[in-house]
Structure 1
Amino acid sequence: MKRRLYLLFPDAEFARRGVAALNQDGIETRRIHTIARNGESLEGLPGSTFEQRSDRLHQLERWVWNGNLTLFFIMLAGFFVAISYGAVVVATLLVVAMLVSFLAGERFTHLPDADFREVRDALAHGEIMLMVDIPESEVYRIEHQIHQQVPEARFGGVSWLPDTAAQL
């Protein structure tokens, strides 16, 4: 699984320096995506797709999380109904399904998570955000390198990124 590193820069010139530093560190330009408020000049910066600008991964994550919770509570209600009717086998299967649902949710909550809500104000004030798709093992190194080469950069967070989305 990849990580999406969010980096904020005061303006486009600093963002271009950040892109150059990332390229120098071996990050391909196609792994870098730029987000800014409407009307901001992004000349010389990598573009972003509609999906990246709309933060669809975070929306999908919320949908899956809420669906998992709903399913868990439906199974819990089903468990109490099965117990009240003496259907021990059904109750046991529901407990196993609830355990699987709980463990999936537990795993999901430990993934790093950031979304645009956390940087919306910065973008509204004219800052430029670079989203950098990198392997999990590279997050600390890349963040450190960027801060060394472009001290004006701010770390905006990190989120998970399925490998299939990182290929786009």
Structure 2
Amino acid sequence: MRRRIYWLLPDLASARRTMDDLLLARISERHIHFVAREDADMTGLHQANVLQTSDVIRAAEMGLVVGGSAGSLIGVIAAIYFPIIGDAPQWGLAAVLGMLGAGFGAWSASMIGISVPSQRLKRFTPMIEQGQILLMVDVSSSRVQEIEARLQALHPEAHLEGVESNVLAFP
């Protein structure tokens, strides 16, 4: 399980030095994410992608649940009242419509969620708009204190903003 450490850095020069220090600490570039204003020059930094900056994952999960539930309910009604063959309920139809509803719900909700800013990053928006850089570092639970201590020692200008414990290992 990984944990995400949030840091606010005052400017791009500090962010670039921090990136180099994290690479020297053997943190893979794919686990280092920076968020800055739209007009910031992010050359040399690993910019956060849409999975980190939007609510696409949460929206897809909600769409999966709602779409699957609605599809299953419609499927049960169709299986009981509108059987395809004979008079016996067609329970396979309920399962198929449930899966189709879940897939459609996840897809359609993720299309909406991709345009919604992440609720987890909402608290950082004013600081980012002022020109600060948000750093998100995903590290294993055993390395959290080591990385925090390293960044505090090497970058006194940076501010630790907290640790989040629910980070997927693959994005």
TM-score range, shorter chain: 0.5 to 0.7
Aligned partners of 1:134 and 1:22: how far apart in 2? 11
Which contiguous aligned blocks of 4+ residues in structure 1 show a shift greater than 3 angstroms?
none
Assess if the C-alpha contact under 8 Å between 1:55 and 1:116 holds in 2: no
Aligned partners of 2:26 and 2:45: how far apart in 1? 17
Query: Which position in structure 2 is the counterpart of 1:10?
Result: 10
Assess if the C-alpha contact under 8 Å between 1:119 and 1:156 holds in 2: no
Of the three residues 126, 146, 150, the one matched with 1:145 is 150
Using the aligned pairs only, state the percent identity: 32
Would the alpha carbon gap of residues 3 and 11 (structure 1) be closer, same or farther in structure 2, given more than 3 Å must change? same
Of the three residues 159, 162, 168, the one matched with 1:162 is 168
Report the TM-score, using the length of structure 2 for normalisation. 0.60
Query: Which position in structure 2 is the counterpart of 1:74?
Result: none
- Counterparts of residues 6-45 of structure 1 (less than 5 Å): 6-45=6-45
Query: Which position in structure 1 is the counterpart of 2:125?
Result: 120
* Structure 2: gaps of 5 or more residues: 67-118
Cα-Cα RMSD: 2.4
Query: Which position in structure 2 is the counterpart of 1:129?
Result: 134
Assess if the C-alpha contact under 8 Å between 1:6 and 1:129 holds in 2: yes
Aligned partners of 2:125 and 2:38: how far apart in 1? 12
Report the TM-score, using the length of structure 1 for normalisation. 0.62
SS in 1 for 2:147: helix
Aligned partners of 2:135 and 2:6: how far apart in 1? 6
Structure 2 letter corresponding to 1:41: D
* Structure 1: gaps of 5 or more residues: 68-113
SS in 2 for 1:139: helix
Aligned partners of 1:12 and 1:55: how far apart in 2? 26
Would the alpha carbon gap of residues 41 and 144 (structure 1) be closer, same or farther in structure 2, given more than 3 Å must change? same
SS in 2 for 1:119: helix
Query: Which structure dedicates a bigger proportion of its chain to helix?
Result: 1
Structure of greater relative contact order (alpha carbons < 8 Å, 6+ residues apart): 1
Aligned partners of 1:124 and 1:137: how far apart in 2? 33
Assess if the C-alpha contact under 8 Å between 1:32 and 1:133 holds in 2: yes
